[in-house]
Structures are given as C-alpha cells and as structure tokens.
Amino acid sequence: MKKLALILAMAMILATTALAADIPMEQEPDEDVPESVFDPGVIATNTEGLDVPAPSAILMERDTGTVIWEKNADERLRPASVTKVMTILLIVEAVDRGELKLSDTITCSAYAAGMGGSQVYLEEGEQMTLQDMLKCIVVSSANDAACAVAEHMAGSEQAFAARMNERALELGMANTHFTNCTGLMDDPEHLTTARDIAIMSRELIKHEWIKEYTTIWMDTVRDGQFGLSNTNKLVRFYEGATGLKTGYTSSAGHCLAATAMRDGVEYIAVVLHCASSSDRFESAKTLLSYAFGAYTVATPKPDQVLPPIPVKLGKVHNVQPVIDEEPSLLVRKSDAGSLEVTVELVPELTAPVEKGAEVGTMTVTLKGQTLARTPILAADAVERLSWWDVMKDMVHMMMYGTE
C-alpha cells in the first residue's frame, strides 16, 4: 500500500508539473541562436526566390507603406508580446502630446506586480520613471512594467486595452482585437495579423526618438543594479537594425516585428507563428536583406525649373508654380534610372489667383505605367487689378508705351 501511495503521489506531482509547463504565459525561452543565422547568405533577387520558414509574414517599406511581399499576411493569429508595439505606440503618442513626461513617476500596483512571464520583478508600490519603465518594456518585454504604465494612463488594463482597440481602428487594422496590453496570456480573442502588426509598427517608428530604446542591446535600471538584455538579436547582429519587438508563447510560437534602415530607407518585416527563434530571425533577415538588395525609394523631380505662369489682370504679371509634394516611390533599383517625369502647366491664369490653386500636374511613369500624379500649385496669391489700376496702366501705356 505504501508503495502504491508513493507511486500515486509521484504521478500527481508529474501531472501538476506538466500542466504548469503548458500554462501559456509569454516568456522568451533562453534559446541559443547561432550567429550564422545572421550571415548575409544568398539573397533572393526576386520575390519568386523568397523562401522563409515563417507561416505568416509581410515585408513593407516605411515611407510609402508599400507591401513588397506577403505570405498569409491576413491570417488572424496570437501575437504574444508583439502586442506591446501598440502599448508602446500609445505611450509614445501620449509623450509627444505632452500628456506624459519621461520623468513622470509610475507606481506599480499589486496587479501589475503579479504579472508573470517576461518581467523586471517590480514589487507592489515600487516606483520608476516612465523612462525606465519604457526601457523595460521595449528591451526586456517586461509585462509588469507594461501593465503598470497602462494602469497609470487609463486606470486599468482593461480600459487601456479599449484604447488600444480604438487606435487600431483609426490605423485601419481591420483584423485586430486586443484584450490586454502585454500578450502575456494566449486569450483566444486576442488576435491580430502580420499586416496589422506592420501597420502599427510603421506608425511607431515615425516617432524617431523611440529608436533610442528599440536599438538598445544591453542596459540597466535601478541605478545599475538590474540588467536588461534585448531579446531581438537583430539589434546586435544585423546591419542597420532599428528594432522592434519579439514575442513568444507556446501557442503563438516565435513572433517578431523587425525594422531596419540603410541609406535612409527603412523596411518592416513581420513574421508570426515560427517554430523556433532561429526561424523567426532567419525569416526576418531574409526579407529585410531582399528589400535592401532589390529596392530603393526614389523622389523624382522635373529636369528643369518650373517656369512662371502669366497672370492676366493681376497686380503682378505672373505666379511661380511649385510642386505640392514630391512623391516618394518604392521602385526596383534596376528601374530607378528609367523613371520619366512630365509636367503640364496651364498656359495662362486670370486674376484673382488663390495661393495653393492647382495650376498643373507632374506625372511620373515607368515603362508606360503611371506611378504618381502630383498637383502643381500657385506659390502665391495674385490680386485682381481694380478699375482705377486698369485706367492708370492704360494712361501709362498711352504716354510711355509698353516695356
């Protein structure tokens, strides 16, 4: 009987341990990714040659938002801690609006201190500046810090999640629904897509100062007493890496929103549900390297300065046309020299002319295909001559002739 009781007790312990191991909490595994994963290797020269192990992925250029390549990019999946891209975005936007300051003191609640998974082990009542909290969230994916800031901003994590969903709708993230600010638990209703993650990642990196945090490899908080290490190994090993956020749970798999910039051009690669950390870094590296190798962002301009346009019955005789906004176009490097720019201007205007009035069009084409049409506007307003001004001009012409 004693032997049977011992066997039963051991079985219960093993069962409990197995159940605990299956608790789907976000905790980056300490997986050793070989540096060879980050070697350039053979870079694909066209999209047909792209082959990544990630089940769901997308590659996007930052300035234009152009999607270069995608694979199951609209499949709704669990994002794990890549969720925090939206959490960080809301924090950054609040700072830029002046609603928060990086020097603000954030106090950790009992609820936030109880967060599991990746954390910096905040204690109830412990205080940190928003700057240090943000560093913990970005670099170490600290769930406790994310929750503490969410509560500070919105009163509760649930209220903050509602703000996350509102911002997602504003950005056009049609297939996203957040139920928390961390991605800690594999909530079946907490879902997004590779495309939606790319959209919110693009919005985040518009705030250049966040890269002071997303590019940190190692740092400390608590006056140097607690070390932080970035789980995004691209930051250390990939040329031009600017961020952005890793994530992992047993159900979500290994996820990554990766950003990198070279020669002023920045790309976003999102990979979800990878089988291993090596797979996610390999997938992101392959996509980013393809983009850098094959594409560039061109800003085409007219070959010559735009000539002034005559204005009839105006207090000045002409107005200078200006291009409204020079287009940024993502093109293959091999096509950059083949872009053609044509300009059409109205031959003449009659006063009054409003500043900003459309006076022409600049068209950019590539091999006969129109890539962009940009309005050309009047740089200044031109007032119409009064009858008295007309009479004076007529007298002047009669007495002195035309010049």
Q: Is the dihedral of CA 230, 236, 242, 248 positive or negative?
A: negative
The whole-number pLDDT of residue 386 equals 81
Three-state DSSP class for 212? helix
- Give me the phi and psi of 22, to 5 degrees please: -90, 0
The whole-number pLDDT of residue 32 equals 64
Catalogue the active-site residues. Answer: 81, 84, 141
Q: What pairing do the DSSP bridges indicate for beta strands 358-366 and 369-378?
A: antiparallel
The whole-number pLDDT of residue 11 equals 39
The whole-number pLDDT of residue 293 equals 93
DSSP 128-156: EEHHHHHHHHHHH--HHHHHHHHHHHHSS
Domain 24-296's class?
alpha beta
Task: Report the first-to-last Cα separation within the chain, whole angstroms.
Answer: 122
**Paired strand residues for 330:** 297
The whole-number pLDDT of residue 213 equals 98
CATH T-level topology, domain 309-400: Peptidoglycan synthesis regulatory factor (PBP3), Domain 2 (2.60.410)
Residue where the block lists tokens 């046309």 = 321
- pLDDT tens readout for residues 183-227: 988 789 999 999 999 999 999 999 999 999 999 999 999 999 999
- pLDDT tens readout for residues 360-394: 999 999 999 999 999 999 999 999 988 766 666 66
Enumerate residue ranges in the chain where pLDDT < 70. Answer: 1-32, 34-37, 39-48, 388-403
* Closest to 21 (Cα-Cα) out of 252, 249, 276, 256: 249
Domain limits of the chain? 24-296, 309-400
The whole-number pLDDT of residue 307 equals 96
